[in-house]
Structure 1
Amino acid sequence: MAQERKDAATFKGNPITLIGPELKVGDQAPDFTVSKNLLEEVSLKDYAGKIKLISVVPSLDTGVCDAQTRRFNEEAASLGEDVVILTISADLPFAQARWCGAAGVEQVITLSDYKTRSFGQAYGVLIQEFQLDMRSIFVVDQNDKLAYVEYLAEMTEHPNYDAAMEAVKSLR
């Protein structure tokens, strides 16, 4: 049974329970399986040898998630071929594609954790009460070690964009 972390964060001030371990810098990044589209699944191994910034959002259809994904899309243009930005949410792949098209987001790869919640459980961000993934940021180096971890205490707050980008740049 997966680890439950009661009161690990809040949503609008109300405590929520996160499922899975609390990862730390230096840990080996857990593997996961998520949907790239309805028929294609990907895992951490699909991005081997690259620096990975994993931006986790509950749903692209909310204001903070929208802003977070747009911000990393803008940052991606200056990062080069050795860096990939993955945005993971529990939104259906259809909704992710629609949102990206409407928002003009082309630099970020959106991946869906809707089928098995594999990512959420492996990275300790699955919100038990909502079955969504909690806003968080993970920077994974070329050898799949965690170089930066940010679990937000409040679901509606923005992550520390600058610190995440500094972590990516320090690995280059």
Structure 2
Amino acid sequence: MCSLQTKQLNEAAKTHTNVKFYSVTVDTPFAQERFCTANEIDGLKAVSDFKYHQFGIQNGFFIKEKGLLTRALMIVDENNTVKYIEYVSEEGKEVNVEKALKFLESKLLKK
């Protein structure tokens, strides 16, 4: 799990209670559960793409050579239409969670 991104989104989920937040990784469900418990991640749903990599393959996130998902952040509306996406260009870099949340707040959430 990208721990920093997950922690930031968990905090955002507490503010935006009308939005569903997910963190998708190739960590095993057991590893996800340990991480979420240890870090008090309770505002979002952690989902494992460990076994079949279906999410990663369908969305272009799966890096076959490494068996990992590329770090990315996606905002999908209520019709499952992708409205925002950011892929990280280099391994070890972080997505801009603040920028994505500003987009969410200004473009998708009713004021």
Query: Is TM > 0.5 for Structure 1 vs Structure 2?
Result: yes
Which protein is richer in helix relative to its size? 2
Look up the match of 1:86. Answer: 22
> After the TM superposition, which parts of structure 1 deviate over 2 Å for at least 4 consecutive aligned residues?
none
Look up the match of 2:101. Answer: 165
Matches within 5 A, 1:42-57: none
Q: Deviations over 1:63-121 (max 9, x none)?
A: xx11111111111111022x111000000101100110011110010000011100100
Look up the match of 1:154. Answer: 90
Partner secondary structure for residue 79 of structure 2 = coil
Q: Give the residue type in structure 1 aligned to 2:94.
A: H
Look up the match of 1:101. Answer: 37
Separation of aligned partners in 2, 1:93 and 1:124: 21
Matches within 5 A, 1:123-162: 123-162=59-98
Separation of aligned partners in 2, 1:99 and 1:116: 21
Q: Percent identity?
A: 32
Separation of aligned partners in 2, 1:93 and 1:154: 26
Q: Which runs of 5+ in 1 are unaligned?
A: 1-59
Partner secondary structure for residue 24 of structure 2 = strand
C-alpha deviation, 1:167, in angstroms: 2.4
Q: Which runs of 5+ in 2 are unaligned?
A: none
User: Does the CA-based 8 Å contact 1:139-1:167 persist in structure 2?
Assistant: no
Give the structure-2-normalised TM-score: 0.92
C-alpha deviation, 1:139, in angstroms: 0.3
Separation of aligned partners in 2, 1:113 and 1:148: 21
Separation of aligned partners in 2, 1:105 and 1:78: 14
Separation of aligned partners in 2, 1:112 and 1:88: 6
Higher relative contact order (CA 8 A, sep 6+): 1
Tell me which structure has the larger Cα radius of gyration.
1
Aligned length, in residue pairs: 108
Give the structure-1-normalised TM-score: 0.61
Partner secondary structure for residue 80 of structure 2 = coil
